[in-house]
Each structure stands twice: as C-alpha cells, then as structure tokens.
Structure 1
C-alpha cells in the first residue's frame, strides 16, 4: 500500500467520525481530558520557554538574558535563594569544620615552641608538628589533609614552608599552628 492510498484511507476515516454532539457522556469526557492535556502541555511549554530566556547556557539568543559583568556585585555568584547557593554555603560550613578539626589535632599532637626562638615567655609560643607525624595521625580522620592545610594557611591559621607538602618528601617539614 503506497503513501497516497494511506492518506486517502485516513481522509475517508475522518469523514466517518460522528459530530461531538453524537458522542455519549464518556466520549465527551475523553475529549475534555485531551483538551486539558493540551492546555497543560502549552502551560509547561510557556514556562520552559520563559526559564530558557534566563538560562545563560541555552541557545536562546533573545536579548533579555541578563548576565552580570565582571566587577558587578553578583558576578560569579549563584542566584540568591537557589539550590546552588545553598550547596555552596553547606560546603563552606563543612570545610570550616574540617579546618577547625585540623587545628585541634595539631594542638593535641604538636609541641609548644618559642615563636621567634628568643624565649620571650608564653605569649611568643606556637605549636609545631612535623608533616609526617601529622599525616600519620590525620589519615584516620580525613584523606584531604593537604587541601585542608592549604585552606588553613589561606586563613592564616597555620604556616609551613613551600607551596605544597608531599608525603614522604616533606615528612620533616614543620607545620606551625599560628592561632
């Protein structure tokens, strides 16, 4: 059966369909639900189209997409109240707890020493520990010791020589707790 004969068959079938007034109540309810489906689909489509206008990664080239420029307050920040913002806050809280825990471990296993080596009393004292010893104790707590050390140094809570500490190579590097 060719394509033309299929079209003819469909057209003949459509002519045989009775008028909606001839349907029973069940059939009328079916046509109403199909109308509802169409309206729901159109509503979803309109909402999605509106959402895509604000999505900087969509291929929608309409000019109403507002992207903050460098130097503006919200540049590089997720929209306020979004799930992304909440995940960022949660991550920040988690990392802060890990930094505090690292400082507590250094206090517990480290040795107090004079800050400048001048013996000027308890005010000029800091706590130090070798990286190898810290690594051996901290490995049971977390596998992110170096990352947490870098974060603590950025917050000026600890100090150590070099940019990065490597297990084995830097086992004798001294990590100093500043606060």
Structure 2
C-alpha cells in the first residue's frame, strides 16, 4: 500500500477517534488507536505508519517508537 495513502487513512482515524484539545489540536491516545478494531483492519503496521507520519510532520508524539501496553497513554497529536 502507498505510504501517503496510509498516512491519509491515519489522519482520518485520528480525527474519528480523537478529541479537540483547548488549543484546537486533535489528539488521541496510542492505546485507543492501537486497540480500535477498524484501525486493526486498516493498518498492517500501525507503528510504522505512525513513524512515517511523524517523519513527514503530519503528527507528533513523545519518543521514537510506541509499543502497546508501555505507551498506551502517549498522546498522538495531529499537526
């Protein structure tokens, strides 16, 4: 699958599952995104898609790599 297409799908899923913060940015917890059934069906490698989107400055999150369980409470912010 085309990475630009996957990043576009990721943006849609963050908008669907996330909420707007006081500063107007859409945020979602990694655990919410990772455990969502629809996301699981869309993304074969969610972590890889997140890293590619961060590299392209579409999203931002703390750290380099997010792991299930350990990083479930990390905010993924749509830029």
Query: TM-score by structure 1 length?
Result: 0.42
How far 1:151 sits from its partner (Å)?
0.5
Deviations, residues 79-109 of structure 1 (Å, cap 9, x unaligned): xxxxxxxxxxxx6xx1100000001100111
What are the equivalent positions in structure 2 for 1:64-143 lying under 5 Å apart? Answer: 94-115=2-23, 125-137=24-36, 138-143=39-44
Runs of 4+ in 1 over 6 A off after TM superposition: none
In 2, the alpha carbon distance for the partners of 1:156 and 1:143 equals: 21
Picking from 58, 62, 66, the partner of 1:157 is: 58
Query: SS of the residue aligned with 1:175?
Result: strand
Match of 2:49 among 143, 148, 166: 148
Cα distance, 1:173 vs structure 2? 0.6
TM-score, length of structure 2 as denominator length? 0.91
Structure 1: give runs of 5+ residues left out of the alignment: 1-90, 116-124
With CA pairs under 8 Å and 6+ residues apart, which has the higher RCO, 1 or 2? 2
Structure 2 residue aligned with 1:169? 70
SS in 1 for 2:25: strand
> When you count strand as a share of all residues, which structure comes out higher?
2
Q: Deviations over 1:111-138 (max 9, x none)?
A: 00023xxxxxxxxx10000000001122
